[in-house]
């Protein structure tokens, strides 16, 4: 199966699941397989704040700060990552991530304290997104881990469909 077919199967599976499983996918997903499952997750009305943060910070937004337009990102072969970072930052600032039931410390992923991040943002006057202060703070709730039942973001029940057809 192609990455597009695998991702369609994953999205179909996620549509029958909820935010905890989406978080598990985000934690273990292999980004080389395309970003459509992650885009699907972060656009759900019940996407948890922790999940949005995992995806945002794993996208390495510091590398996307200097882009003033999609064409800047396209020149660096990072257009899809830039669009994903911008989408999450814009949705966060608009209050789209109301659900907050999963615990996460974003410093495990971001590598930038808030004050350093703000200095980095200030260096990029042409930037097209900014973060909200809450995107740098830990969320409280229960711990949700990807576990052994996920490989590259795909749940165990999809493995035969994906990997058996890859041979």
* Gap between the Cα atoms of 121 and 95, Å rounded: 21
Which two tokens mark 77? 């072969």
Q: What does the alpha-carbon distance between residue 91 and residue 88 come to, in Å, rounded to a whole number? A: 5
Question: Which two three-digit tokens encode residue 157?
Answer: 């029940």
Give me 125's structure tokens.
């006057």
Q: What is the pLDDT along the chain (167 residues), one digit of tens a residue?
A: 788 999 999 999 999 999 999 999 999 999 999 999 999 999 999 999 999 999 999 998 888 887 777 777 676 668 888 899 999 999 999 999 999 999 999 988 877 788 998 998 888 877 788 899 999 999 999 999 988 888 889 999 898 888 666 54
Is the alpha carbon torsion for 58, 93, 104, 120 positive or negative? positive
Residue boundaries of the structural domains of the chain: 3-164
């Amino acid at each position: 199966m192609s990455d597009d077919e695998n991702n369609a199967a994953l999205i179909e599976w996620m549509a029958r699941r909820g935010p905890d499983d989406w978080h598990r996918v985000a934690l273990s997903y292999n980004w080389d397989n395309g970003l459509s499952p992650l885009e699907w997750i972060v656009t759900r009305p019940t996407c948890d704040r922790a999940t949005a943060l995992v995806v945002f910070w794993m996208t390495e937004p510091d590398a996307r700060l200097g882009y003033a337009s999609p064409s800047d990102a396209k020149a660096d072969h990072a257009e899809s990552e830039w669009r994903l970072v911008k989408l999450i930052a814009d949705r966060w600032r608009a209050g789209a991530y109301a659900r907050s039931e999963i615990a996460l410390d974003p410093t495990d992923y971001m590598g930038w304290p808030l004050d350093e991040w703000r200095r980095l943002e200030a260096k990029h006057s042409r930037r097209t997104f900014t973060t909200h202060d809450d995107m740098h703070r830990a969320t409280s709730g229960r711990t949700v881990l990807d576990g052994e039942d996920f490989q590259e973001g795909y749940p165990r029940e999809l493995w035969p469909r994906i990997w058996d057809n890859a041979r």
